[in-house]
């Protein structure tokens, strides 16, 4: 996955164009935005400290040689994070740098509390900064046109939960298949069709969340590859479906002043699918199966923004432990003074 193409450069520009010009008026502010967007596209897929340090040196050298600035002149916060979610309910949402880390943590925790109060499946998450950085990365991707994400990490790293939280923060629906006994290609294609219709016909911002544990058949990945490439799955839409699609698209096309033809209707539907449907794929990078799948289905890399979930740092793990044990009361056995006694 250490391969790059012109799509990656266009994603950097897309991210820069999301920012409000009023928040990037100074040279240092614009450079901070540029560094952030480059980091999201190129650095987030790097797998070890050595590669991250190399990337940081490249950025520092460019700042020094091109702009005669130090890294500290541009990045004045502990972490370089941009987002449009700091003010819940804001309209319009403004994509800008988030300087206050304590406020960021508080706001994301409030989003999580709101999610849990409304969800049938509440998530018990500890929102330390490393996790929040991943949430901000996911929100960034799904807000971009044609934005799809490939989240790489081992099971239990929180990729699915953080995706659900990110989608909630951006007011997106989440669709995920449910694997049951007998689930096969027919069920898969029906689920895909529902997701495409939800996005294309209803115009609902939708995250299709898919994990490698749900790959019952390799043909699932071929369909995913096609959606990433063109928004279309060959032979998925039948005549009955086209009648529904046509009925939904005609008034929209008339309002937009577009010529209404059979081909034009289908093309308009596919464009809406690509605008409103965002795939978030959660895969493990361990083993030969992952590398083989990337070779067979190149759009998994070429059409996705990659976020590598590294091992959580010790301080993050300690904060999780403190949170889970905060309500536990430890009692000393009767007659003991705590010295050498067990936990009752």
For residues 249 and 265, the answer to whether their CB atoms sit within 8 Å is yes
Render pLDDT for 270-300 as a digit per residue (tens, 0 to 9): 999 999 999 999 999 998 999 999 999 999 9
Q: Is the pLDDT of residue 194 over 90?
A: yes
Residue 147 and residue 68 share a domain: no
Q: Is the pLDDT of residue 325 over 60?
A: yes
Q: Say which CATH number the domain at 159 has.
A: 3.40.50.300
Is position 92 within any domain? Answer: no
Q: How far apart are CA 23 and CA 275, in angstroms?
A: 26
Is position 223 within any domain? Answer: yes
Residue 186 and residue 116 share a domain: yes
Residue 152 and residue 32 share a domain: no
Mean of the per-residue pLDDT values for the chain? 92
Q: What is the pLDDT of residue 229?
A: 92
Residue 278 and residue 161 share a domain: yes
* SS3 of residue 202 by DSSP: coil
Residue 112 and residue 57 share a domain: no
Query: Which pLDDT band, with edges at 50, 70 and 90, does 336 fall under?
Result: low
Residue 306 and residue 204 share a domain: yes
Is position 343 within any domain? Answer: no
Q: What is the pLDDT of residue 17?
A: 95
Q: What is the pLDDT of residue 158?
A: 93
Residue range 68-76: mean pLDDT, rounded: 94
Strand-strand pairing, 82-83 and 96-97: antiparallel
Least confident of 1-15, 69-83, 315-329: 315-329
Q: What is the pLDDT of residue 338?
A: 47
Is position 86 within any domain? Answer: no
Residue 5 and residue 151 share a domain: no
Q: How far apart are CA 300 and CA 297, in angstroms?
A: 6
Q: How far apart are CA 36 and CA 154, in angstroms?
A: 25
Q: What is the pLDDT of residue 323?
A: 74
Is position 338 within any domain? Answer: no
Is position 8 within any domain? Answer: yes
Q: Say which CATH number the domain at 42 has.
A: 1.20.920.30
Render pLDDT for 211-223 as a digit per residue (tens, 0 to 9): 999 999 999 999 9
Render pLDDT for 152-178 as a digit per residue (tens, 0 to 9): 998 888 999 999 999 999 999 999 999
For residues 134 and 167, the answer to whether their CB atoms sit within 8 Å is no
Residue 190 and residue 50 share a domain: no
Number of domains composing the chain:
2
Is position 207 within any domain? Answer: yes
Is position 72 within any domain? Answer: yes
Residue 185 and residue 116 share a domain: yes
Question: Domain limits at 237?
Answer: 100-323
Q: Whole-model pTM above 0.95?
A: no
Percentage of residues of the chain with pLDDT beyond 90: 82
Residue 59 CB contacts under 8 Å (≥ 6 apart), including other chains: 35, 38, 39, 71
For residues 33 and 97, the answer to whether their CB atoms sit within 8 Å is yes
Residue 126 and residue 35 share a domain: no
Residue 137 and residue 57 share a domain: no
Q: Is the pLDDT of residue 123 over 90?
A: yes
Q: Is the pLDDT of residue 342 over 50?
A: no
Residue 286 and residue 138 share a domain: yes
């Amino acid at each position: 996955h250490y391969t790059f193409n012109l799509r990656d450069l266009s994603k950097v520009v897309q991210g820069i164009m999301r920012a409000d010009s009023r928040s990037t008026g100074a040279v240092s502010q614009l450079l901070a935005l540029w560094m952030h967007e480059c980091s999201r596209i190129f650095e987030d897929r790097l797998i070890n400290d050595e590669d991250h340090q190399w990337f940081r040196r490249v950025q520092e050298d460019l700042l020094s040689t091109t702009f005669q600035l130090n890294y500290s002149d541009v990045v004045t916060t502990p972490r370089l994070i941009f987002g449009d979610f700091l003010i819940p309910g804001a309209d319009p949402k403004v994509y800008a740098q988030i300087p206050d880390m304590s406020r960021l943590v508080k706001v994301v925790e409030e989003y999580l509390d709101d999610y849990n109060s409304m969800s049938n499946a509440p998530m018990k998450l500890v929102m330390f900064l490393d996790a929040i950085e991943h949430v901000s990365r996911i929100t960034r991707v799904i807000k971009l046109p044609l934005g799809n994400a490939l989240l790489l990490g081992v099971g239990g790293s929180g990729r699915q939960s953080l995706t659900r939280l990110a989608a909630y923060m951006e007011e997106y629906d989440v669709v995920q298949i449910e694997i049951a006994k007998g689930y096969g290609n027919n069920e898969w294609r029906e689920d895909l069709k529902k997701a495409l219709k939800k996005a294309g016909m209803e115009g609902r911002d939708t995250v299709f969340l898919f994990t490698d544990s749900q790959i019952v058949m390799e043909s699932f990945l071929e369909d995913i590859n096609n959606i990433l490439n063109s928004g279309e799955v060959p032979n998925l839409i039948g005549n009955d479906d086209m009648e529904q699609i046509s009925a939904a698209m005609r008034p929209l096309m008339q309002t937009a002043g577009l010529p209404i033809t059979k081909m034009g209707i289908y093309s308009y539907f596919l464009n809406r699918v690509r605008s409103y449907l965002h795939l978030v794929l959660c895969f493990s990078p361990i083993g030969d199966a992952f590398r083989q799948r990337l070779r067979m289905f190149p759009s998994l890399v070429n059409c996705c923004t990659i976020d590598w979930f590294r091992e959580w740092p010790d301080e993050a793990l300690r904060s999780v432990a403190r949170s889970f044990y905060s309500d536990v009361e430890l009692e000393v056995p009767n007659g003991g003074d705590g010295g050498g006694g067990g936990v009752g």
